Amino acid sequence: MLLKKLKQEKFDADYQGATITTFSFEGQIEVIDFINSDYFRIDCTRDDIKEKPLQQQNNYLKPAFNLEKLSIEDFRALNLSGLISFFDKYAAGEWGESDREDFIVVWNELRNHLSQLGDSFTFFLISKEWFENQESRKNSEKADIKLKEPEFWIYGYYFIVVGISKAKNDLIAIVMFYD
């Protein structure tokens, strides 16, 4: 698996945000191999965080998942319209009013970016919410081993989306969060 980072973009609204990191790749690529690689752990960390001294970098939240515990079965495979539909429905869910507004700001920026990609991508989506329950928020011993403590307690939502276009040899990694 050989990837080359092409660019990184970020969209923020108060405590919500999305980071999109675009790569080109050669050879075969698997989602699980990618999220357990330095390409994800390092290259998908926001550039402005990586520019800080290492001691300060450690003050930032890490992913909400124990990445090495995830399997491909934990992800939902979606085409572009399925991904857009998922997040449109998520935006329509129950929110505090300003929270919804902030999510929609981030989602609209991300949707505009995604709509320019075309239909050659397959997206693999995972949500922190699929693994937590009320008990895990009260007692960390009841939390799914796929969730990382204390991060999963802090994030309101946390999504990872990996989009792969074998036709274009492109990969995009999206991390959406509310902290």
Task: Find how far residue 146's CA is from the centre of its chain.
Answer: 15
Angle value at C-alpha 43, between 38 and 44, nearest 5 degrees = 105
Q: How confident is the model at residue 62 (pLDDT cuts 50, 70, 90)?
A: confident
Q: For the chain, what is the domain count?
A: 1
The pLDDT, as a whole number, for residue 47 is 74
The pLDDT, as a whole number, for residue 140 is 59
Expressed as residue numbers, the domain containing 60 is 2-178
pLDDT tens, residue by residue, 18-45: 999 999 999 999 999 999 999 999 899 8
Range 105-121 average pLDDT: 94
What CATH code is carried by the domain that includes residue 95?
3.40.1000
Average the pLDDT over each of 4-8, 20-24, 138-142, 167-171 and give the range with the smallest value. 138-142
Q: Kindly report the pTM of this predicted structure.
A: 0.91
